[in-house]
Amino acid sequence: MARFILQTLLAIAVATSALPTDNSTNFVGPENGNLVIVGGGSLDDSILQKVIDLAGGNDSSIVVIPTAQGDPSYDQNAANADDFRRLGSKSVTVLHTYDPEVANTEEFVQPLVNATGVWFGGGRQWRLVDAYAGTLTEQKIRAVLDAGGVIGGSSAGASIQGDFLARGDTKSNSLIIGDHQQGFAYVKNVAIDQHVLVRNRHFDMLNVLKYKPGILGIAINENTAVHVSQNTAEVFGASYAIIYDGTYWSRDGDDANQIPDPSGLFYFLRQGDIYDLGLRKVVHAS
């Protein structure tokens, strides 16, 4: 009897493992490479260090894109480029244009060819869309990720990594649903907000969920990051990330707190907590 059960289990195991797995389209985050999505503010070195480490260390090439800031021009220290160098990065290049025709040229994208890291600085995320969406630059940035590199960014540089572009309005950053709604979608079907607690933005994402049912909202506070790889999203840094998935979770157990109706639900994760973007569940609490 025991042997029969064992044989049956083995047969099931073999049959299951023989099922074709097409992982390529299944991940919410990138199949290859890593994202470091940062909620803005002054950043501890540990956050930028993580980007350097994931890019492959001091000898790797990092391209810094300050375009969201909206300055007339930038020097080679813009948007944390000087911090990456101070931490030991030997090849850091600031890359910028507001002109999509320029962004569409082979000449402009040269610094991205050998880069294993890309960093988007803060500002207004729609500027990144206007300059780079649909251009060769957007393709080459994506290629860095596909080749196993890292894309990081803070504030606007966080939101742009989402699929629905939160706070993409050209008139005001107080509108969470604006006139630019498509981000670079390194995480699919996700909207990303930033500065969330410092600016008391924690109710705003609920409007995005109403507007785009089924979307997953992630709102990150300052000096805090979410590291995404495939379906794994791990929080690190000084503060919290808020998850809006229509459910509720608590470190003390799901029924430990008074909670509002489903349209008003969100919950907080801290350093070391891991959320599965595919299952839409907390899979590790630190």
Q: Which is nearer to ligand NAG, 23 or 172 (CB)?
A: 23
Q: Is 263 in the site for ligand NAG (CB under 6 A)?
A: no
Q: Which residue, judged by CB position, is nearest to ligand NAG in the bound state?
A: 88
Residue (of 217, 124, 249) closest to 178 by Cα position: 124
Contact 104, 137 (CB under 8 A): yes
Alpha carbons 167 and 271: distance in angstroms, whole number: 25
Nearer to ligand NAG, 114 or 174 (CB): 114
Of the candidates 193, 280, 270, the one whose C-alpha atom is nearest the C-alpha of residue 234 is: 270
Asked whether the beta carbons of 241 and 228 are under 8 A apart, the reply is no
Tell me if 278 contacts ligand NAG by CB under 6 A: no
Could you say whether residue 279 binds ligand NAG (CB under 6 A)? Answer: no
Are residues 119 and 157 in contact, defined by beta-carbon separation less than 8 angstroms? yes
Cβ 89 to ligand NAG, closest distance in Å?
8
Whether 159 contacts 193, CB under 8 Å: yes
Residue 57 touches ligand NAG, criterion: CB under 6 A: yes
Pair 249, 257: CB distance under 8 Å: no
Which of 32, 58, 77, 104 forms a contact with ligand NAG (CB under 6 A)? 58
Q: Does 134 bind ligand NAG (CB under 6 A)?
A: no
- Binds ligand NAG by CB under 6 A, chosen from 70, 88, 262, 264: 88
Could you say which residues in the range 100-119 bind ligand NAG, by CB under 6 A?
110, 113-114
How near is the Cβ of 82 to ligand NAG at its closest, in Å?
A: 13
Does 272 participate in binding ligand NAG (rule CB under 6 A)?
no
- Give the residues across from 284 on adjacent strands: 274
Q: Are strands 274-276 and 232-237 parallel, antiparallel or unpaired?
A: antiparallel
CB of 11 or CB of 113, closer to ligand NAG: 113
Residue 8 near ligand NAG by CB under 6 A: no
Strand partners, 92: 62
Beta 241-244 vs 216-220: how paired, if at all?
Answer: antiparallel
Q: Please identify which residue in 23, 25, 42, 258 interacts with ligand NAG, judged by CB under 6 A.
A: 23
Q: Which residues bind ligand NAG (CB under 6 A)?
A: 21, 23, 57-58, 88, 110, 113-114
